[in-house]
Amino acid sequence: MTTPTRTHRWDALDFGPPAEDDAGGGDPVLLEYENDGRIAVITLNRPPDNAITTEMGARLTEVLESIAVETAVRVAIITGAGERAFSVGSDLRQRKSMTKEDWLRQRQDFDRTLYTVRQLRKPILAAVNGIAYGGGSELAQSTDFIIAADHATFGQPEAMIGLSAGGGSPVFLPRVLPPGKALQMLMTGDPISAQEAYRLGMVNEIHPQAELLDAAMRIAEKIASNSPTAVQAVKGAVRLGEGQPVEQAIAIMMEAHWRSAVHPDRIEGIGAFNEDRDPTFQDPDY
């Protein structure tokens, strides 16, 4: 019997199927609170690759929905456990034995997770600590912005396994990258480095691995120190105005502006400036 020749097709992706005994343990998504409960830190917790199972997706949705209604939380950070990966995307070992119905059910569950990220009124940023492929990259793209470790990589290898990407990258990548570069990534499956993602505008900041979470916390603390009502309003204005005709986008912006102008936080913020002190902003109503 001839032994099949090992392929080099997957070498550029720098990961492969997990070991058969790699069942994972503990809570697949961790939630911690910092800064007196104003910052929620979400960690994908299936190291080393943090592959997304049905159970992880469901837990992430649950965590996001709980954060959404906690008025004390002003900003969220999402990252991955370990130093190797933010997330390599869906767990293909779990998918190997799925029926068509199982696949479609999981796809609906994952759609709900990503929708919950996109619809979160509070700001949420991704601290990408390593590999971000497939649904992992799309999860990062679904947040408000990304910072990354200097060894991180971003890729959409779905076409390599016979899939058209379905978690948002065909929509988001052409908005944050030159459209031709986005198409090249989606068609070839080849990843890009954190440095290239930064150069092209997909990533806001790059930091050494050991400094990444501290950098994310500094950004989150700055956001949390501002009026959460104003921050949520301006996020909504940007999101709802995106792609609209200019005057329609301006109208959306002005609605948010006037609502903030009559809010007590405006009085507090201007008073703090004139009195040379730190403002004390209210938690939002929702």
**Which of 32, 158, 255, 268 does the annotation list as catalytic?**
158
One-character DSSP codes across the chain: -PPPPPP-TTGGGT--PPPTT----S-SEEEEEETTTTEEEEEE-STTTT-B-HHHHHHHHHHHHHHHT-TT--EEEEEESSSSEEE-SB-HHHHHT--HHHHHHHHHHHHHHHHHHHH-SS-EEEEE-SEEETHHHHHHHTSSEEEEETT-EEE--GGGGT----SSHHHHHHHHS-HHHHHHHHHH---EEHHHHHHHTS-SEEE-GGGHHHHHHHHHHHHHHS-HHHHHHHHHHHHHHTTS-HHHHHHHHHHHHHHHHTSHHHHHHHHHHHHTS---PPPP--
Q: Could you tell me which residues come within 8 angstroms of residue 85 by beta carbon, excluding any fewer than 6 positions away? A: 15, 47, 48, 49, 50, 129, 130, 131, 132, 136
148 has which bridge partners?
A: 128, 206
What are the two backbone dihedrals, phi and then psi, of residue 248, each rounded to the nearest 5 degrees?
-65, -40
Active site residue 275: no
Of the residues 55, 83, 101, 138, only one is catalytic, namely 138
55 is catalytic: no
Residue from 110, 91, 82, 99 nearest 20 by CA: 91
Catalytic residues: 138, 158
